[in-house]
A and B are shown apart, each in its own frame.
Chain A
Amino acid sequence: MSLLEITGLRAAVDGKEILTGLDLTINPGEVHAIMGPNGSGKSTLSHILAGRDGYEVLAGSVRYDGADLFALGADERARAGIFLAFQYPVELPGVTGMNFLKTALNATRTSRGESEIDAMDFLKYIRARAAKLGVSDDMLRRFVNVGFSGGEKKRFEILQMAVLEPRLAILDETDSGLDIDALKVVAEGVNAMRAPDRGLLVITHYQRLLDYIVPDHVHVLANGRIAASGGKELALELEEKGYGRFLDAAA
Chain B
Amino acid sequence: MAVSSTPRRKHMQKNHPPLSASHPAAAPHLPGGPLPWLGRLRSEAIASYQAGGLPSRKLEDWRNTPLDHLNSLNLTPVELATPTVIDAVPVWQRDLVDGHSAVFVNGRYYPSLSRLPDLPDGAAIGSLADLLETRPDVVEDHIGRLATIQGHAMAALNTAYLGDGLVVFLPPGTVLDHPLHLINIAAPTQDAVAIQPRHLLILETGSAMTLVESNGGLGGTAYLSNAVTEVSLAAGARLQHVKAQLESPNATHLATTAVSVGEGAHFDAFTLNSGAALARQETYVNITGRHGAARVNGAYLAAAGRQQDNLTRIVHDTTDSVSRQNFRGVIDARGKGVFQGKVLVKRHAQRTDGHQLNRVLLLAPGARIDAKPELEIYADDVKCSHGATAGELDDGALFYLCARGIPRPIARRMLIEAFVGEALAEIANEPLRQSFTALVREWLDEHIGVPA
Contact = CB atoms under 8 A, between A and B. Distances in A.
Interface of A: 50-53, 73-75, 78-79, 83-84, 86, 89-95, 99-100, 103-104, 107-108, 111, 143, 160, 164
A219 to B, nearest CB: 23
Contact of B404 (A53, A94, A104): A104
B415 A103 contact: no
B404 A164 contact: yes
A103 B409 CA distance: 13
10 contacts: A50-B403, A90-B397, A92-B400, A94-B418, A94-B422, A100-B401, A103-B414, A104-B401, A108-B405, A111-B405
5 shortest interchain CB distances as A-B pairs: A94-B418, A78-B405, A104-B404, A90-B400, A74-B402
Contact of B405 (A75, A89, A93, A94): A75
A110 B335 CA distance: 34
Contact of B421 (A73, A91, A94, A111): A94
Given A75-B408, A78-B405, 7 more contacts: A78-B406, A92-B415, A93-B422, A95-B418, A103-B414, A107-B410, A164-B404
B417 interface: yes
Interface string B377-411: 00000000000000000111101111111111011
A236 to B, nearest CB: 32
Of A52, A83, A94, A103, chain B has the most CB atoms within 10 Å of the CB of: A94
A107 B402 CA distance: 10
B110 interface: no
Contacts of B408: 73, 75
A94 B403 contact: no
A90 B397 CA distance: 6
Contact of B399 (A52, A99, A104, A164): A52
A135 to B, nearest CB: 16
Contacts of B169: none
Nearest to A52: B399
- Chain B interface size, under 10 / 10 to 19 / 20 to 34 / 35 or more: 20 to 34
A111 B401 CA distance: 16
Contacts of B394: 90
Contacts, number: 76
Interface in B408-443: 408, 410-411, 414-415, 417-419, 421-422
Given A107-B405, A107-B407, A164-B404, A74 B418 contact: no
B395 A53 contact: yes
A75 B407 contact: yes
B86 to A, nearest CB: 38
Contacts of A143: 418
A117 B22 CA distance: 62
A74 B399 contact: yes
B417 A164 contact: no
Nearest to B394: A90
B403 A74 contact: yes
A225 to B, nearest CB: 25
A240 B214 CA distance: 70
B417 A51 contact: no
A193 to B, nearest CB: 16
B398 to A, nearest CB: 9
Contacts of B415: 92, 94-95
Contacts of B401: 92, 100, 103-104
Contact of B418 (A52, A90, A92): A92
Contacts of A51: 402-403
Contacts of B411: 75
Contacts of B400: 86, 89-90, 92
Contacts of B421: 94
